[in-house]
Amino acid sequence: MAEPSYSWAYSLVDSSQVSTFLISILLIVYGSFRSLNMDTENQEKDKDGNPTTTSFSNSNSNNSIQTIDSTQALFLPIGASVSLLVMFFFFDSVQVVFTICTAVLATIAFAFLLLPMCQYLTKPCSPTNKISFGCCGRFTLAELLSFSLSVMLVLIWVLTGHWLLMDALAMGLCVAMIAFVRLPSLKVSCLLLSGLLIYDVFWVFFSAYIFNSNVMVKVATQPADNPLDVLSRKLHLGPGVGRDVPRLSLPGKLVFPSSTGSHFSMLGIGDIVMPGLLLCFVLRYDNYKKQASSEAGGTGPAGPSPGRMQRVSYFHCTLIGYFIGLLTATVASRIHRAAQPALLYLVPFTLLPLLTMAYLKGDLRRMWSEPFHTKGTSTRFLEV
């Protein structure tokens, strides 16, 4: 009798899968706390302003922060589908422009990722005064250092096309998007994630029946021409100038090689960012509830909080759900030996435990509509 094959189970502890799990969770946690820190810093700046009724989620003074409303949440999957089709049908025509735009965005995002480290390094030897660059604006030494390092990394990535540099840029994009985009309520979170679940399932499972190809997989894995190579050919610089640069795999995903080098594990940054926005939302709500409870002498927005259930944070519950969903998606892909829409597993495993816990705690109605509406709320960093 033949022994059963458990290769799919052993593949779960492969270095590529472990790396994917750890990095995605770390990016979500780090991005969520960067977002919470930004809210705290912005409210510190606004303390001397109007102390009347404010909204915790919209009281930031940073104009670059984008809050998604219900209409945007409904139309975002449609816009993503249009972009996917453009990349599928016209990739050869727009690949250079798309590569350059991606490189610029990745440069800014990775500089944001490096900024805390650069602030730590320059703090002993640099004043906090900003250096003026005329019409370009004023920047601290830490900001200039992080941007310079980011530019260098992008240039090396363009020259080498190495997967590790692409991963670094993708990490910067993940953290920046989680930190600068806000979900204002549980209602908007459910609308956005449910719509993206349908989007992910359709383009992975059903697009082949219409377009004779898996649109999502083809767009995600298709390399782009290197801009240096295109520039060399346009300027007729000769075969030895700019022609030996590799094609570029764009930083819209994280890839990690297995220990044997036989395959890569891949996870799209949307599968990190979209659940990450939900994690960021519940972290901010946990922080708000803790602050409101301390100000009210042990009572939060929903009244007294006795019992073990009340001591469990929404952030921990949803983060565990994300891990289980990612594990389930990995098992499904190994069993079926085909690409799986990760949001099909991530969305239920994050939203359902969150909704259940919010109902049991009595916070569901408040979290659904106006979770952060309060008077004179001041934020403090929540320890997790």
Q: Active site residue: 39, 271, 286, 363, which one? A: 271
The residue whose two tokens read 């993503």 is 80
**339 Cβ partners below 8 Å, 6+ apart?**
204, 214, 216, 217, 333
pLDDT digit string (tens) for 258-281? 766 666 788 899 999 999 999 999
pLDDT at 153 over 50: yes
Residue 349 domain-assigned (yes or no): yes
Neighbours of 24 (CB within 10 A): 24
DSSP H or E run through 45? helix 15-45
pLDDT at 304: 46
Residue 330, domain extent: 9-48+80-375
Q: Report the C-alpha gap between 217 and 204 in whole angstroms.
A: 7
Which tokens in the block code for residue 138? 């004023």
With 0-12 / 13-18 / 19 or more C-beta atoms within 10 angstroms meaning exposed / middle / buried, residue 124 is: exposed
Mean pLDDT value of segment 353-375? 85
Rg (CA), the chain: 23
pLDDT digit string (tens) for 84-117? 999 999 888 888 888 999 999 999 999 999 999 9
Q: Identify the three-state secondary structure at position 266.
A: strand
Residue 109 domain-assigned (yes or no): yes
**β-bridge partners, 373:** 55
DSSP H or E run through 279? helix 270-295
Residue 277 domain-assigned (yes or no): yes
Q: Report the C-alpha gap between 113 and 119 in whole angstroms.
A: 11
When divided into structural domains, the chain yields a total of 1
Q: Report the C-alpha gap between 347 and 23 in whole angstroms.
A: 19
Interior/surface letters 232-261, b for 16+ CB within 10 angstroms, e for the rest: beeeeeeeeebeebeebbbbbbbbbbeeee
Residue 1 domain-assigned (yes or no): no
Is residue 167 part of the annotated active site? The answer reads: no
pLDDT at 369: 86
Terminus-to-terminus CA distance in the chain, angstroms? 51
pLDDT digit string (tens) for 169-227? 999 999 999 999 999 999 999 999 999 999 999 999 998 899 888 899 888 888 888 88
pLDDT at 149: 95
Residue 306 domain-assigned (yes or no): yes
Is residue 271 part of the annotated active site? The answer reads: yes
pLDDT band at 310 (very low <50, low <70, confident <90, very high): low
Read off the pTM. Answer: 0.85
Q: Is the dihedral of CA 269, 275, 277, 282 positive or negative?
A: negative
Q: Active site residue: 14, 167, 200, 363, which one? A: 200
Q: Report the C-alpha gap between 99 and 92 in whole angstroms.
A: 11
Residue 266 domain-assigned (yes or no): yes
pLDDT band at 135 (very low <50, low <70, confident <90, very high): confident
The overall average pLDDT reported for the chain is 82
